[in-house]
């Protein structure tokens, strides 16, 4: 709870990942994201419990519990995705167990894998993520299961209607601390698509 309380003051003016809008249609955008580095942890449990646990693990790392005892600037959003297995042939298929989640913070762009402080906690992994294209839908409100499912369906319908090829499970992106009023929240649902 303390970590989420500390998060609040940082999220209003924090760095967010760079992307270019390739195309847009109302609240849905096709975005090309640049390469980035993420701090990631994998946690099990119900989605809401998992993101809180994952947030605390990575927040502990960026608030200085690392080999250098250096703080890393907070960024937004915090993302969450059901863990996936890559099939022997494409496309990527979602793992049947939706109780295993990857929670990620994008690291500030000024860092490389070599210059980021090394995590003390082996549950925190630093990873380079290559440039990708996503279909993304933005929405406000609480991140309730119904709200997430409704926007996932809208995004999947858009992808099908535009004859795009989805190549990942949905990723949830949350930009605000828990006490933000629902109508002021920025949430996103993102699905990687083929270029």
pTM for this prediction: 0.82
Distances (CA, A) of 104 to 25, 59, 139: 27, 10, 20
Token pair listed for 1: 């709870």
CATH topology of domain 18-34+131-195: Phosphorylase Kinase; domain 1 (3.30.200)
Task: Name the nearest CA neighbour of 122 among 53, 42, 179, 194.
Answer: 42
Model confidence pLDDT, tens digit, residues 121-172 = 999 999 999 999 999 999 999 888 899 999 999 999 999 999 999 999 999 9
CATH number of 36-129: 3.20.80.10
Over residues 73-127, the pLDDT tens digits come to 989 999 999 875 433 333 332 233 568 999 999 999 999 999 999 999 999 999 9
Domain boundaries, the chain: 18-34+131-195, 36-129
């Amino acid at each position: 709870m303390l970590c989420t309380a500390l998060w609040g003051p940082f999220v209003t003016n924090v760095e967010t990942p760079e992307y270019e809008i390739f195309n847009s249609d109302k609240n849905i955008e096709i975005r090309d994201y640049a390469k980035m580095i993420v701090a990631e942890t994998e946690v099990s449990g119900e989605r809401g419990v998992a993101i809180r646990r994952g947030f605390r693990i990575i927040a502990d790392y960026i608030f200085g519990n690392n080999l250098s005892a250096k703080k890393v600037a907070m960024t937004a959003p915090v993302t969450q995705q059901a863990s996936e297995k890559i099939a022997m042939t494409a496309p990527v298929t979602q793992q049947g167990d939706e109780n295993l989640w990857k929670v990620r913070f994008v690291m500030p762009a000024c860092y490389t894998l070599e210059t980021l402080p090394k995590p003390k906690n082996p549950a925190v992994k630093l990873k380079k993520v290559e440039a990708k294209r996503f279909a993304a839908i933005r929405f406000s409100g609480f991140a309730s299961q119904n709200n997430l499912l409704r926007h996932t369906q809208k995004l999947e319908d858009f992808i099908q209607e535009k004859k795009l090829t989805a190549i990942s499970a949905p990723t949830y992106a949350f930009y605000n601390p828990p006490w933000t009023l629902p109508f002021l929240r920025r949430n996103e649902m993102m699905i990687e698509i083929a270029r």
